[in-house]
Amino acid sequence: MPLTKEEREFLDAYVYEATHEPFGGPATNDLRRRGICYADLHGLLTGYHRELSNERILPFGKHNSSPPPSPWSNRDEVEHRNRALLEEWARRETDQSFAEDHDGSPGSSSEGAPELPTTDQSQVL
């Protein structure tokens, strides 16, 4: 479940404001009016960072002096969306890890892995 087009456009503006002086602007003010703070956006910002990183785009946002309105009307909507995104990412990582462990992908076998030292049980008290 990727970010919606509206979420991505809004976060482009918001992340730019949060990472460039004077550290604020219309997107930031819109969130404040709705009672939403930076820390409330943890799942959305994680999704934003991952999506842009996967596209090989630096996740520093885009300047927009007239950003779209916040796609979330209040903090409860943000929390619901955070949970959905974080659960989706966790599911993807679990599925990917399982597939790598069972399809012969790199890291799926112990070939080439260093052997762990063993304890001589005859010397254990």
pLDDT score recorded for residue 93 = 83
pLDDT score recorded for residue 48 = 97
Q: In angstroms, rounded to a whole number, what is the distance separating the alpha carbons of residues 113 and 121?
A: 23
Other C-beta atoms closer than 10 Å to the C-beta of 27 total 25
| pLDDT per residue of the chain (125 residues) written in tens, 0 to 9 | 589 999 999 999 999 999 999 999 999 999 999 999 999 999 999 999 999 999 999 999 999 999 999 999 999 999 999 999 999 989 988 877 767 776 655 554 445 445 555 555 555 44
Identify which of 70, 73, 82, 85 has the alpha carbon closest to the alpha carbon of residue 14. Answer: 70
Amino acid identity for residue 41 in this structure: L
Task: Tell me the domain boundaries of the chain.
Answer: 5-103
pTM attached to this predicted model? 0.74
Contacts from 107-111 at CB under 8 Å and sequence distance 24+? none
